[in-house]
Structure formats: structure tokens, C-alpha cells
Amino acid sequence: MRKKRKGSSEAHGEGSEGLSFATRSSNFRSHFSLEGYARLKKRCKENEDVSAGSFKRRLAGVATAPPCGASSLVSSGRGLKRKIGCIDVSTQTGRKNKIDDDYVFGPNIGKGKFGSVRICRSKSKGIDFACKTLKKGEETVHREVEIMQHLSGYPRVVTLHAVYEESDCFHLVMELCSGGRLIDQMDKEGRYSEQRAANIFKDLMLVISYCHEMGVVHRDIKPENILLTSAGKIQLADFGLAMRIAKGSPAYVAPEVLSESYSEKVDVWSAGVLLYALLSGVLPFKGDSLDAIFEAIKKVKLDFNSGVWESVSKPARDLLARMLTRDESARITADEVRRHPWILFYTDRTLKTMSIKSKHKGLGGTSPPCLLQLRNPIKNTDVNRGNREKKTTHDDDSPPTDSFSNTEEEEEEDESGVVDVLVVAISNVRISEPKRSRLCSPTTNSPIEQQHSSNLTTTNTLCRAF
Ligand SMILES: Nc1ncnc2c1ncn2[C@@H]1O[C@H](COP(=O)(O)OP(=O)(O)OP(=O)(O)O)[C@@H](O)[C@H]1O
């Protein structure tokens, strides 16, 4: 049952060395952090909105979830079943299994602000899953479930397999990402070469573009929520803060709805912060307090012309500047990010073959910066982990793949000058649009079950819900 997990997360399980993650991460979670504060604040606000039946929420429901059968859109009452709209219609005959009837629990593998995550093994299939348990009363679980189901079938989104409701909690049985979290990999490996960063980033932008195309804003893009499969591929997780974008009749939308930060561009900003961290090893906006960080986010002018940025190619800096544009309307879209020459240069196979070997600049000879700073932007002088060697080896059960398999030799080709020269040549390369038909097709190998409140077996119905 136990499977060694690469990287690190939270330590909660007893004696679960491979899967439990320890102290290093929890040090960061335990002290005051921007992410914790913001998330708690956002969740509290959302819960208030939900309970108050705010106009904003009702509009989003009406605009994005057309009626399904006899279901009311968001009817009042407690319990997941009544809150997830379309799903209850298809699941009234759902079996009343308890999760213990179907799964055997293993050790804890993570803990977030709102729930713990354990391994669980399916009794019938013998396959391991991740089970996130959310206590009732603080949940926005109905939305998280609905959105995960809506996005289900896309390979870079963590698949939701089943939902169980108990009197005091919900269990979300999800695909297990046994490769750990991106944050832990970043922490171990230090600053990334441009080639490696671009390959990871391309996958991330693909999944973000997909979410946006499906009318979903994730709103919590950060390396803690980017998980890795055993093959090292990224999977976007934690849709606890995600929202559907209301695309209803604009004529009816109230001004206060328009002023809400529901735009998908918030994900582009967050992804920009992540890219900055990948390429430089530090976060762009820091401070000694939350207020200082907020101030930096609002005002700090990023300097891409000195320090580590001198060894980073111009296209990479150009992309970052476009993503970290404060004016949302001027900020690049996720789709535009995917088409940016920097991404194309490092990820397009044809262009890779054009790559000219030249001496690698920038990373060689320097120790990676302490990426602890990535976890908590508040400056922490007590934490000094010193310089660590750049680690390129992988745990036995986490073999490197496409995105993560660059050897030192390949990284030698990571020459910013080459990128600058070739960028003009590739700026007109077109990437084909994602195929919608594929995105909504039923998945045969990962049917979503919803025990207690659902017996759903295909994603067709879910697609209709939007
Ligand atoms: N599908 C999964 N496979 C493997 N590990 C997972 C999976 N889902 C979550 N985890 C682990 O559990 C941790 C917490 O999960 P998640 O972020 O979904 O919970 P949360 O309560 O919403 O967290 P937070 O609010 O703190 O971001 C993750 O950081 C990860 O380490």
C-alpha cells in the first residue's frame, strides 16, 4: 500500500516515512503566511456569500449552469447533494455505501487549511487513491466537487473518482499524485534552467488555458497546488477556491459583479509569480509583514535588468513582464502565454533541434538560492538553510520524464543568447487550439462515482452542467 513519495509535504501519518512529509513544510505552514491568510479570508468571504445567497453567487449559477432535467440550480438545504445542481438528478439512486466499505485507508500524505489527505486503496480495484476529507461547516466542497467534475478527463487535472458524504464530513477520492508537489521539487533543486522551467511551465499553462476555456478560474495557482505524477508530469490540484466565470447576459450584470476579481487573468498573474520563482529562485514580492507584501504587489517595480536576470534570456523576461502587468486588461492571457516565443522555443520539438550548443551562462558555479523563500514571502532571517547542491537525481520510483528529464548536457544548450536570436524566427509559429470535443468526451477509464449522493459514471452529464 505504501508507496514512497518523492518530494515533501506534510507529516501527519505515524511512521509513514515515505509518504509523510515532514517538518520542513510544516514549519512554513505553522507560521504566519500570506497564502494561509489570503485563503482563509477568501474562504470565509465565500462562505458568507453562500450563506447570504449573494447576488454574485446566484448570478454565477444562473449564467453558467443551465437547468439539468428537473434539478433546481442551487437549492437551499444542507448537504452536498442539494448543492451541486445537476449531479443530484443523476444520482438519486446512488448507493449508500460508506467509504470504509469501498476503501482501506493508508497514511496521511498531506494537510491543507481545510482538510487532510490520506492514501486509500480501493477494495475492488486494488488501486491507490488520495482521499481528501473536508469537515462540514467550513466547506465550499460542493463547488470544489462540481468544478473538478466539470474539468475531469483532462490529463493535467487531478481526477475526482468518488465523493462520500458523512454526517460531519465529505471524502473526495482523487487520483493519487505520487510524485509529490512542485514546491518540494523546487525546494530541493533550486533555480531552474530556462529549458526546464519552460517545459514545466508549458504544461501548467496548458492546464490553466483549459480551465479558462471551460469557464473556470483556479484562483490559487501556486507550487503547493501543482502535484506531480509518478512519471513527473504536473497535475493541477486543489480547486477549493476555484470559481466559474459568469458568462451570462452582460446586460443584466450589476457593476459590483464586474468589479469582483473573477477574471481568469488572476491565474496568469499567479503563474507569472511562479515563473519568476522558477527562473530566479526567489519570489518577486516580499516583505516583513502582510501589509508590506501587499504593498510590494501593488507598487514594486520589478527590475529584470540586473542580478540573476542578466543571465536570463530576453524573451523569458519579456514574458514575465507581460504576465506580471498590474493592469489586468493589458495582461497577457493564458492562451497568449502558451504561444509566447520563449515557450515555443524551449518546448517545440522542431525548434529544439535548431538549438545551438554554446556555453551555458548563469547557473553554472553558483549555488541555488534558498527556495524556502518561495514558501513564505515574508522575510525570515532565522531560517537559513545554506547553499544546497543542485540535485538532479530522482527517487527510484519517480523517474524523470519529458518535462523533468533534462540532463546537464541539455541544460548546457540553455543559452539565453540563442533564444534572443531565434525568437524572431519563431514568433509567428501557430499552436493549434485545444480540441473541445476531446475535452468533454466521456472518460472510459476514470468514471466519476458519487456514493451517497451520486452514481454518476460518465462526464457527459457534467459537461451539460455548464
Ligand atoms: N491527489 C493528490 N495526490 C497526492 N497528494 C495530494 C493530492 N491532493 C492533495 N494532496 C496533498 O495534500 C495537500 C493538501 O491538499 P489540498 O491543497 O487539496 O488541501 P487544502 O485543504 O485545500 O489545502 P490549502 O487550503 O492549504 O491549499 C497537498 O499539498 C498535497 O501535498
pLDDT tens by residue, 213-259: 999 999 999 999 999 999 999 999 999 888 887 666 667 767 766 66
Q: How many CB atoms lie within 10 A of CB 48?
A: 10
Q: What is the DSSP letter of 378?
A: B
C-alpha–C-alpha distance, residues 316 and 358, integer Å? 18
More confident residue, 449 or 75: 449
First and final C-alpha spacing in the chain: 37
Q: Could you tell me the distance, in angstroms and rounded to a whole number, from the CA of residue 312 to the centre of ligand 1?
A: 32
pLDDT interval class at 115 (50, 70, 90): confident
CA-to-CA dists, residue 354 to 357, 419, 425, angstroms: 9, 10, 11
In this structure, the residue with its CA closest to atom 20 of ligand 1 is 112
User: Is 220 one of the catalytic residues?
Assistant: yes
Report the predicted TM-score, pTM, of the whole model to 2 decimal places: 0.65
Cell numbers standing for residue 164:
462520500
Q: Which amino acid is at 160?
A: L
Q: Residues annotated in the binding site, as ranges?
A: 132
Q: In this predicted structure, which of 145-149, 197-201, 262-266, 419-423 has the lowest mean pLDDT? A: 419-423
Contact 286, 295 (CB under 8 A): no
Q: Is 238 in the pocket of ligand 1 (CB under 6 A)?
A: yes
C-alpha–C-alpha distance, residues 83 and 301, integer Å? 44
Q: How many alpha carbons lie under 13 Å from residue 103 in its C-beta half-sphere?
A: 24
Which residue among 102, 184, 187, 220 is the active-site one?
Answer: 220
Packing angle, helices 314-323 and 194-213, rounded to 10: 30
Expressed in percent and rounded to 5, the helix, strand and coil fractions of the chain are 40, 10, 45
Q: Is 112 in the pocket of ligand 1 (CB under 6 A)?
A: yes
Contact 54, 43 (CB under 8 A): no
Q: What is the ipTM metric for this complex?
A: 0.96
Q: In this predicted structure, which of 146-160, 225-239, 388-402 has the lowest mean pLDDT? A: 388-402
Q: Is 228 in the pocket of ligand 1 (CB under 6 A)?
A: no
Is the predicted pLDDT of residue 286 greater than 70, yes or no? yes
- Residue linked to cell 515557450: 343
